[in-house]
C-alpha cells in the first residue's frame, strides 16, 4: 500500500506561530515594566537609572550573568514542575514545599555521607531530593484522585507543613553543630556532593536545560504525554477513551513534584552548599510566574526563568545605585503574572483574537 506523503513542514507557519505565542508574554513584560517605571517615578527616583542599574546587575558583566544563571537554574526546574502540572490540568501551588523537601534532603545526603565518589555522591543527593519532592506532591495527587480534594488547597496546606518540617530539621536533628554556629542550618555538603561548574557554566544550569528538553519530549512525543494532555484538556473524554484518569493525575503530580524537588536539590548542591531556611523563600511561587510567562511551554521556561532570574540578580544593584527598594522587582513580577494570567487584557490592547486550539487550563477543576 502506498504511504501518503508526509505533510510538508511549514517553517514559515511555525515561525509565525512562535512569534504569535511570544507576543502575549513579551507584551505582558513590557507593560509590567512600564507600570513599574511609573511607580519608580512616583516614588521620586529616575526609572531610567533604576532600570539601567537593574540591567547592569543582571546582565552587565560576566559576574552579573553568573548570578543570573544561579538565580534562574532553580526557577527552570520549578517552572517545568508547574508547567507540566498545568498540562495535566493541575495547578501545583505546592512547588515551594516540594522544593524545600528536595533541598533539605539533598543537603542531608550531602553532609551525612563522607567518602563517596564525587559523581555518585552528587547524583545520589539529587535523586533523593527529587524523590522527596515527588513523595510530597504524591500526597496532593492521591488526595485529588481518590477524594476529589482540590490540589490548590492541599498543596497550599502541604507548603505550610513543609516550611515547618524543614525549619525543625534544620534547627534540630540536622542542625549544623559546628562550634560558634547559632543559626538554623545544616552542615555544609561534602565537596563530592557539590555541583561543579563546567567551563564557567554551572552544571545545574546544563542539567536544567537538558531536563527542559526531556520534559518537552515527554509531553509532546510520548504516549504518557498524550495521556497527560488529554486528561488536562478533557478528563471526561479521557475517561471515555479508556485512559486511567486517576492514575494519570497522581503521576502528573508526582512528576511535577520530582522536578520541583530536583530544583531544590540543585539549589542546595550547586549554589547554597547547605540547607538554610529562608534561602529558597519564594522560589516555588516565582516558578508559577515562570510557567505562566512561558505559557506552559517547557522550552520557553528557559528564557522566562532567565528573565525573572536576571531581575532578581539585578535587584540589589538597582537598590544600591538608584535608591529604589528592591521590592519593586516583586511588584513588577506580580504585574507580569497579572497580565499573563489576564491575557484578555492584552488581547484587547493589541486588538488580536485569542488563539484557538489547546488552551492552558489555568483554573480547571475549580468548584468541580
Partner 1 sequence: MRGDAPVVLEARGITKRFPGVLANEQVSLTLQHGEVLALLGENGAGKTTLMNILYGLYQQDAGEVLVRGKPVRMRGPSAAIRHGIGMVHQHFMLVPVFTVAENIILGAETSRGPLLDMAAARRHIHELSQRHNLAVDPDALVKDLSVGQQQRVEIIKALYRNATILILDEPTAVLTPQETDELFVIIRSLTAQGVSVIFITHKLREVLALADRIVVLRRGRVVGETRPREASERSLAEMMVGRSVILQVEKQTAHPGATVLALEQLSLNDDRGQQVVNALTLDVRAGEVLGLAGVQGNGQTELVEAITGLRPVRAGRVLIDGQDYTGAAPRRISESGCAHVPEDRQEDGLVLGYSVADNLVLNTYYVAPFAHGIVRDGQAVLHHAEQLVAQYDVRTPNVTTSVAALSGGNQQKVIIARELSREVRLLIAAQPTRGIDVGSIEFIHQQIIAARDRGTAVLLVSAELDEIMALADRIAVIYHGRIVATLPATSASREQLGLLMAGAQPEHL
Instruction: List interacting residues with partner 1 (CB under 8 A).
Output: 3-4, 6-7, 221-226, 230, 233-234, 236-244, 353, 356-359
Q: How far is the CB of 351 from partner 1 (least distance, A)?
A: 14
Task: Supply the DSSP symbol for 120.
Answer: H
Name the residue nearer to partner 1 (CB basis): 34 or 241: 241
| CB of 221 vs partner 1, minimal distance in Å | 6
Nearer to partner 1, 218 or 325 (CB): 218
Nearer to partner 1 among residue 233 and residue 321 (C-beta): 233
Nearer to partner 1, 327 or 358 (CB): 358
332 contacts 40 by C-beta, under 8 angstroms? no
Question: How far apart are CB 19 and partner 1 at their closest, in Å?
Answer: 19
Q: Are 69 and 257 in contact (CB under 8 A)?
A: no
CB nearer partner 1, residue 241 or residue 281? 241
- Least Cβ distance, residue 20 to partner 1 (angstroms): 15
Between 147 and 236, whose beta carbon lies closer to partner 1? 236
Angle between helices 11-42 and 328-341 (to 10 degrees): 140
**SS3 state of residue 323:** coil
C-alpha–C-alpha distance, residues 297 and 79, integer Å? 10
Query: 262: which 3 cell numbers?
Result: 530536583
Q: How far is the CB of 82 from partner 1 (least distance, A)?
A: 20
At residue 238's C-alpha, the angle toward residues 235 and 242, to 5°, is: 140
Check if the beta carbon of residue 252 is closer than 8 Å to that of residue 88.
yes
Which whole-number Å values give the CA distances from 225 to 81, 218, 243, 263, 274, in the listed order?
Answer: 14, 5, 12, 21, 35
Smaller CB separation from partner 1, 9 or 42: 9
First to last CA, the chain: 48
Q: Which is nearer to partner 1, 65 or 226 (CB)?
A: 226
What is the C-alpha separation between 333 and 295, in angstroms, rounded? 15
Q: How many CA atoms lie within 13 A of 365 on its CB side?
A: 25
Rounded to the nearest whole angstrom, what is the least distance from the CB of residue 220 to partner 1 in the complex?
Answer: 8
Question: Chain centroid to CA 300: how far?
Answer: 12
Are 141 and 252 in contact by the 8 Å Cβ rule? The answer is yes
Angle at 95 between CA 121 and CA 304, to 5 degrees: 95
Task: Tell me the closest approach of the beta carbon of residue 83 to partner 1, in angstroms.
Answer: 16
Q: How far is the CB of 147 from partner 1 (least distance, A)?
A: 16
The Cα 111–Cα 125 span in angstroms is: 10
DSSP, collapsed to helix, strand or coil, labels residue 52 as helix
1 versus 182: smaller Cβ distance to partner 1: 1
- C-alpha cell of residue 272: 547554597
Nearest approach, Cβ of residue 259 and partner 1 (Å): 18
Amino acid at each position: 500500500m502506498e504511504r501518503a506523503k508526509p505533510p510538508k513542514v511549514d517553517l514559515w507557519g511555525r515561525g509565525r506561530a512562535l512569534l504569535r505565542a511570544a507576543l502575549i508574554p513579551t507584551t505582558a513584560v513590557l507593560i509590567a515594566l512600564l507600570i513599574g517605571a511609573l511607580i519608580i517615578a512616583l516614588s521620586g527616583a529616575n526609572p531610567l537609572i533604576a532600570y539601567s542599574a537593574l540591567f547592569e546587575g543582571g546582565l552587565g558583566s560576566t559576574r552579573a550573568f553568573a548570578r543570573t544563571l544561579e538565580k534562574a537554574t532553580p526557577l527552570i526546574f520549578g517552572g517545568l514542575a508547574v508547567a507540566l502540572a498545568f498540562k495535566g490540568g493541575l495547578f501545583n501551588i505546592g512547588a515551594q514545599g516540594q522544593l524545600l523537601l528536595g533541598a533539605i534532603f539533598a543537603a542531608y545526603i550531602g553532609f551525612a555521607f563522607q567518602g563517596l565518589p564525587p559523581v555518585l555522591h552528587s547524583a545520589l543527593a539529587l535523586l533523593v531530593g527529587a524523590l522527596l519532592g515527588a513523595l510530597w506532591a504524591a500526597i496532593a495527587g492521591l488526595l485529588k484522585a481518590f477524594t476529589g480534594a482540590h490540589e490548590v488547597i492541599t498543596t497550599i496546606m502541604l507548603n505550610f507543613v513543609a516550611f515547618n518540617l524543614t525549619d525543625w530539621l534544620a534547627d534540630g536533628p540536622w542542625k549544623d553543630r559546628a562550634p560558634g554556629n547559632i543559626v538554623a542550618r545544616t552542615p555544609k555538603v561534602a565537596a563530592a556532593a557539590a555541583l561543579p561548574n563546567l567551563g564557567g557554566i554551572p552544571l545545574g544550569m546544563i542539567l536544567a536545560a537538558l531536563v527542559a528538553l526531556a520534559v518537552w519530549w515527554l509531553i509532546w512525543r510520548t504516549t504518557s504525554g498524550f495521556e497527560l494532555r488529554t486528561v488536562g484538556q478533557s478528563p471526561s473524554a479521557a475517561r471515555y477513551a479508556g485512559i486511567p484518569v486517576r492514575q494519570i493525575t497522581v503521576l502528573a503530580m508526582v512528576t511535577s513534584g520530582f522536578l520541583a524537588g530536583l530544583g531544590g536539590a540543585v539549589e542546595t548542591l550547586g549554589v547554597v552548599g547547605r540547607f538554610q531556611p529562608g534561602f529558597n523563600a519564594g522560589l516555588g511561587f516565582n516558578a508559577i510566574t515562570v510557567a505562566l510567562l512561558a505559557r506552559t511551554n517547557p522550552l520557553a521556561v528557559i528564557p522566562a526563568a532567565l528573565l525573572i532570574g536576571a531581575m532578581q540578580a539585578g535587584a540589589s544593584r538597582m537598590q544600591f545605585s538608584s535608591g529604589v527598594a528592591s521590592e519593586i522587582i516583586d511588584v513588577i513580577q506580580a504585574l507580569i503574572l497579572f497580565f499573563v494570567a489576564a491575557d484578555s487584557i492584552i488581547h484587547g490592547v493589541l486588538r488580536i483574537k485569542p488563539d484557538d486550539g489547546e488552551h492552558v487550563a489555568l483554573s480547571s477543576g475549580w468548584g468541580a
